Structure 1
Amino acid sequence: MTPGERARRFVDELLIPREVDAELGRIMPEDVALIKREALAREISGGLHAREHGGQGWSHVEWFEVEEQFGRSTNALSWHVPTAYNVLAHGSPAQIERWLKPALRGELHDAYAVTEEHAGSDPSGIATTATRVDAGWRIDGEKWFVTYGDVAAVYIVMALAPSPTLFLVEAGLPGIGVVDDPPFTHTYPHGHPAIRFDGVVVGEDAVIGGMGGGDELQRAWFAEERLGIAARGCGAMLRLLEETTAWAISREQGGARIIDHQGVAFPLADSAADAAAGRLLGLEVARLADTGADPKLIHAKASMAKLFVSEAANRCADRCLQIFGGRGYTRTNVAERFWRELRVDRIWEGTSEIQRLIVARALERRGVERVIT
Structure 2
Amino acid sequence: MDLSLSKEDLAIQSRARAFAEQHLFPHEIATDERKIKEKTLVEIRKQAIAHKLNAYNHTKKDGGHGYTPLQQVLICEEIGKATCGLWTVVFKASTPLKHGTKWQRETFLLPFNAGKGRSCYAITEKDAGSDPSYVKTKATKKKGKWVISGEKWFVTSADASSVVIVHAHVDGDPKKPTLFIVDKDAPGVKVKRIPQFMHSYVYEHYEMVFDKVTVDDNRRLGEVGQGFDLTKEWFTETRIEIAAHCLGAAIRATEVANHYAEERVQFGKPIRDFQAIEFMLADMAVEIMAAKSLLYRVAAEVSEGMDPKLVHARASAVKLYNSEMAGRVVDKALQILGGRGYMRENPVERLYRDVRVDRIWEGTSEIQRMVIGGQIKKRGLGIYTGWGG
SS at match of 2:164: strand
Deviation of 1:34 after TM superposition, in Å, equals 1.4
SS in 2 for 1:230: helix
- After the TM superposition, which residues 141-160 of structure 1 pair with which residues of structure 2 at under 5 Å, given as runs? 141-160=150-169
Instruction: Show CA shifts across 1:241-284 (max 9, x none).
Output: 11110110111111121111122111221111111111111112
Aligned to 2:57: 48
Match of 1:345 among 319, 334, 358: 358
Partner of 1:293: 306
Query: Shift of residue 20 of structure 1?
Result: 1.9
Q: Does 1:136 align with 2:145?
A: yes
Q: Which residue of 1 aligns with 2:280?
A: 267
Q: Please list the CA deviations of residues 82-129 of structure 1 after superposition, one character each: whole Å capped at 9, or x if unmatched.
A: 212211111111111111122112221111111111111111221111
In the TM superposition, residue 43 of structure 1 has moved relative to its aligned partner by 0.5
Q: Once the 2 structures are TM-superposed, how far is the Cα of residue 188 of structure 1 from its aligned partner? A: 1.3
What is the TM-score normalised by the length of structure 1? Answer: 0.97
User: Does 2:120 correspond to 1:107?
Assistant: no
Q: Which residue of 2 aligns with 1:193?
A: 206
Residue type of the alignment partner of 2:221 = I
Runs of 4+ with >6 A deviation: none
Name the counterpart of 1:175.
188
State how far apart, in whole Å, the 1-side matches of 2:239 and 2:267 are. Answer: 44
Aligned 1:185-264 pairs, distance under 5 A: 185-264=198-277
d(CA) in 1 for partners of 2:103 and 2:369?
A: 39
1:51 and 1:369 mapped to 2: Cα distance? 35
Contact 1:181–1:192 (Cα < 8 Å) also in 2: yes
Separation in structure 2 between the aligned mates of residue 371 and residue 294 of structure 1, nearest angstrom? 14
Whole-angstrom CA distance in 2 between matches of 1:62 and 1:173: 37
| 3-state SS of paired residue (1:194) | strand
User: What residue identity is the alignment partner of 1:218?
Assistant: T
Q: Which moved more, 1:5-14 or 1:337-346?
A: 5-14
CA contact (8 A) 1:297 1:371 kept: no
Partner of 2:341: 328
- Cα distance between partner residues in 2 of 1:364 and 1:311: 23
Amino acid at match of 1:263: A
Residue identity in the other structure for 2:347: V
Q: What is the identity percentage for the equivalent residue pairs of Structure 1 and Structure 2? A: 40
Q: Distance in 2 between matches of 1:261 and 1:365?
A: 48
Counterpart amino acid of residue 98 in structure 2: A
Measure, in 2, the Cα distance between the counterparts of 1:216 and 1:371: 23
Which amino acid in 1 is paired with 2:283?
Answer: D
| Aligned counterparts of 1:315 and 1:194: Cα–Cα separation in 2 | 31
Q: 2:47 aligns with which of 33, 38, 51?
A: 38
Distance in 1, matches of 2:37 and 2:179, equals 35
For 1:120, the equivalent position in structure 2 comes to: 129
Choose which of 22, 27, 45 in structure 2 pairs with 1:18.
Answer: 27
Secondary structure, counterpart of 1:119 in structure 2 = coil
Corresponding residue number in structure 2 for 1:365 = 378
Match of 1:84 among 88, 93, 103: 93
For residues 54-78 of structure 1, the C-alpha deviation after alignment (integer angstroms, 9 at most, x for no partner) is 2111110000000000111111222
Gaps of 5+ in 2: 1-7
| 1:70 is the counterpart of 2:79 | yes
Identify the residue that residue 5 of structure 2 maps to in structure 1: none
Q: In angstroms, what is the RMSD of aligned CA positions?
A: 1.2
Return the offset for 1:224. Answer: 0.5
Shift in Å, 1:53: 3.0
Q: Is the 8 A contact 2:57 2:92 kept in 1?
A: no
The number of equivalent residue pairs is 373
Provide the rounded CA distance (Å) in 2 between the counterparts of 1:201 and 1:57: 36
Cα distance in 2, alignment partners of residues 164 and 280 from structure 1 = 36
**8 Å contact from structure 2 (residues 151, 209) kept in 1:** yes
Which residue of the partner structure matches residue 4 of structure 2? none
- Cα 1:372–1:202 change in 2 (3 A) is farther
Q: TM-score, normalised by structure 2?
A: 0.93
